[in-house]
């Protein structure tokens, strides 16, 4: 399995030695001096490359599912969700192909469950119902060789009915994984990253009671919830030029 990491700079001005990684996911370019630079200019220009640090892009897509308690799953179209993060290659004999990834939760956007995005029992949610998702943590490990993904996800789910009713947030904390996630009443199986960066992430979480009798009774809290997200995760590598005076 191979994944492409794209450079945001198509050309570097100097030829420098680069050790070629073993896995085809990492692509290195031949660095050739530009003819417009003379010998003196070339001698004062140094190319600084950070081969072990990456920009990471996360996008959610359609055909997702969210379920809670023993109720049937919500059919959820998460198209348009996105986030940006930083990946750092983990060094050591025990970290073969593993990269730690940390997404900026302040700019991470996941679409709300509304009548436009969500169906329950084949019917759209009523227009006045809304469940907003506010992420607090999204980070973990992605293996760029095997495609395995394990990302800790923590978010508050805000349930509201127009301006009439707004419940305290439900706190959901789970491990979104490309492997299998299994609880006592809920379970799901994910899919690892393919060559285009597509994957299916699943996570089972326990939802604790909140200070709201209606929600606690309706959802039978504490209970389990299940998230199934189809997503795309892509990596790009920055190459920077610095000039010594």
Task: Indicate whether 39 and 139 sit together in one domain.
Answer: no
Q: How far is CA 221 from the centre of its chain?
A: 28
Return the pLDDT at 241.
Answer: 38
Task: Indicate whether 183 and 208 sit together in one domain.
Answer: yes
Range of the domain at 128: 53-235
Return the pLDDT at 8.
Answer: 46
Q: Identify the bridge partners of residue 112 per DSSP, sorted by sequence position.
A: none
Overall number of domains in the chain = 2
Q: Which regions of the chain are under pLDDT 50?
A: 4, 6-49, 240-245
What DSSP string describes 90-157?
PPSTT-TTEEEEEE-TTT-B---B-TTTEEETTEEPPTTEEEEEEEEEEEEEEETTT--EEEEEEEEE
Return the pLDDT at 224.
Answer: 97
Task: Indicate whether 16 and 79 sit together in one domain.
Answer: no
Task: Indicate whether 201 and 139 sit together in one domain.
Answer: yes
pTM: 0.77
Q: What is the DSSP letter of 30?
A: P
Return the pLDDT at 94.
Answer: 63
Return the pLDDT at 212.
Answer: 96
Task: Indicate whether 79 and 26 sit together in one domain.
Answer: no
Task: Indicate whether 67 and 21 sit together in one domain.
Answer: no
Return the pLDDT at 42.
Answer: 43
Task: Indicate whether 152 and 196 sit together in one domain.
Answer: yes
Which tokens hold the place of 26?
């990492």
Return the pLDDT at 49.
Answer: 38
Task: Indicate whether 205 and 123 sit together in one domain.
Answer: yes
Return the pLDDT at 51.
Answer: 58
Task: Indicate whether 213 and 124 sit together in one domain.
Answer: yes
Return the pLDDT at 14.
Answer: 33
């Amino acid at each position: 399995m191979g994944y492409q990491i794209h450079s945001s700079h198509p050309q570097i001005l100097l030829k420098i030695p680069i050790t070629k990684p073993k896995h085809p996911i990492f692509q290195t370019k031949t660095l050739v001096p530009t003819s417009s630079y003379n010998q003196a200019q070339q001698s004062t220009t140094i190319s600084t490359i950070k081969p072990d640090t990456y920009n990471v892009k996360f996008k959610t897509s359609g055909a997702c599912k969210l379920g809670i308690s023993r109720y049937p799953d919500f059919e959820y179209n998460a198209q348009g969700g996105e986030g940006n993060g930083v990946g750092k290659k983990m060094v050591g004999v025990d970290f073969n192909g593993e990269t730690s990834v940390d997404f900026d939760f302040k700019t991470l956007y996941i679409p709300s469950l509304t009548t436009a995005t969500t169906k329950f029992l084949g019917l759209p949610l009523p227009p006045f119902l809304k469940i907003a998702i506010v992420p607090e943590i999204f980070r973990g490990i992605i293996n760029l060789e095997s495609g395995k993904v394990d990302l800790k996800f923590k978010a508050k789910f805000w349930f509201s009915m127009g301006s009439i009713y707004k419940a305290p947030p439900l706190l959901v904390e789970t491990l979104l994984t490309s492997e299998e996630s299994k609880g006592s009443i809920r379970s799901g199986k994910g899919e690892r990253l393919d060559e285009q960066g597509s994957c299916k992430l699943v996570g089972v979480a326990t939802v604790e009671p909140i200070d709201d009798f209606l929600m606690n009774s309706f959802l039978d809290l504490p209970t389990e919830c299940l998230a199934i997200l189809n997503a795309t995760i892509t990596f790009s590598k920055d190459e920077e030029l610095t000039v010594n005076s």
